[in-house]
A and B are shown apart, each in its own frame.
Chain A
Amino acid sequence: MITDEERKRYARQILMIGEAGQERLKLARVLVAGAGGLGTVISLYLAAAGVGHLRIIDCDVVETSNLNRQILHWSGDVGRPKTASAEEKLAALNPLIRIETVSGRIAEESIEEMAEGCDLIVDAMDNFPTRYLLNRTTVEKGIPFIHGAVRGFFGQATTVIPGKTPCLRCLFPKSPPREVFPIIGATCGVIGAIEATEAIKLLTGQGEPLAGRLFLWDGLAGSADSITVERDPSCPVCGKLKK
């Protein structure tokens, strides 16, 4: 049941998702993997929407060069763990939800515990090796994985439903090279908001998720596209799952 206070806070979205949808958000536990450019946008919108339990994982401290895009980290936060900085702002935004932070690296030996009990995982990483680990974990657990990535004015997003859609390995068999990537904060805003929208849609059962579609944002051209994508039957991660 949602409370009177929640009814008032979420009034404008209850018009869309109903009290039942709001309750589904309240009961949800979502892992946001990263508290950087994408993660700060995603967690801000999920906290504001009333996702009841947010688990935010990051291993870094705030650096000055983060401040052009990582909107939960402010000038006074430089040197603090990103998880502490994010937790403080999100708790001030919405004291009705539970925010759990984990300051640590997502790795082979830690991912199982980090993902425990989550309804879905939202990708806010900055590298493909960790994304592949998150992807494999969601395939093993049979939970959705919402992928997003950015560079410069460009971004991509898709939603992986294990066994039904291509997984990240089907789509991107090889990782793009590691680099200090150029980025403008607004691109993180676009793709982070798409990912948060996907999470809310999945949790409330509304709309058509980006399942089997790769969303592509070109901020320079001001255009958005989506490509239909197919599973790879020989995928080493999800190939054995039945459709």
Chain B
Amino acid sequence: MKGDIYIAAMLGGIFSGLLSGIPGFNLGNCLCCLWVISGGIFSIFLYQKSSTIKLDAGDGFAVGALAGVIGALVATPLDLIFSYWTRGMIMKFLEAYGGEIRAYQNYFTAHSFAANLSLRLIIFAIFSAIGGAIGTALFKPKADSNS
């Protein structure tokens, strides 16, 4: 049972991490961390789909939090990679419109990465945990689906 929970949390985390890290898709998080909450709900969906055990809100909260941590670990490097890839375009934009170039350049330092990762770990864990708790109200296990 525990193994399944970890797999579900990992898949939910990868789901939220990919959508939160890819430019364009990550705008969904502007709507109250949509992908992060969805990652927690998705992990519960995956677990309940293959299990006959009903998770309560606390279990969902814990699984969602784990999914959030994995999501943050996926999203942060992905975001950095895409930002580094598009930095030339963004620098031109900042130069043209008088943006803070130095602040943007600092984004690629190790300190900034660590701060970004720490902040995401906290926010993703909280919102994904809430998503997990909500997910337990939405999905029932296979055998329990008729009750």
Partners in one complex: no
